[in-house]
Amino acid sequence: MHQLAENCCSIFNNSTPPPWDPANLDATRFTASDSPSSSKVDGPTPLDCQPLLRAHSSLLLYLPKSKAAKLKRLAHLFTRVNPFPPLSLSDWRPAAVCGADFGFARPCAYRHFFDAVTEGLALEYSPRVSSNYDDEGYGLVVTVENEIFEAVLGDSELKNISNSGATSGKMI
């Protein structure tokens, strides 16, 4: 993305574009060569959703910087994760999206572009760079079963750590 931003910036500013990084031109890590038909097999039928999973909704929480320290004091910082149930972790690397200069603008935020969050998955949104709000903090999207959704929204401890309580995006 930064390679694209640098080239857009050079076009916008009528300057010499930077050289392309050969690693960005190599698509082999995203593609696979086609196998001969004789070696192909039908894969298993995709599984349906776990029948014990209940209908859920996504919950978007905002954690202002001023309340992050309070939350850290309340948290028990474990050094081991194996005593806990498995979690889904897709990517933890910072993408530095807001640092990309396209010449005509810089991104001010990056958001998940799908319309739903899978059960048991959490998304973390970095603070918006262009925010005029001094206490801009992180956003967190978690899924909550519909049967307890309103109770979670009304939880006083949750309201104490999130900026304006919580907002919902009912997604099933």
Residue by residue, DSSP assigns the chain as -HHHHHHHHHHHTT-PPPPPPHHHH--TTT--PPPPGGG----PPPPPPPTTPPPEEEEEEEE-HHHHHHHHHHS---S--TTSPP------S---GGG---SS---------SS---TT--EEEPPPTT---TT--EEEEEEEEHHHHHHHHT-HHHHHHSTTSEEEE---
> For each of the chain's 172 residues, which pLDDT tens digit applies?
788 889 889 999 999 999 888 887 777 777 777 888 888 888 888 777 777 778 888 888 888 888 887 777 776 765 555 555 555 455 555 667 778 888 888 887 666 666 666 777 777 777 777 667 788 888 888 888 889 888 988 888 888 777 644 444 443 3
The structural domains of the chain, with segments of one domain joined by +, span 53-95+112-169
pTM of the predicted structure, to 2 decimals: 0.55
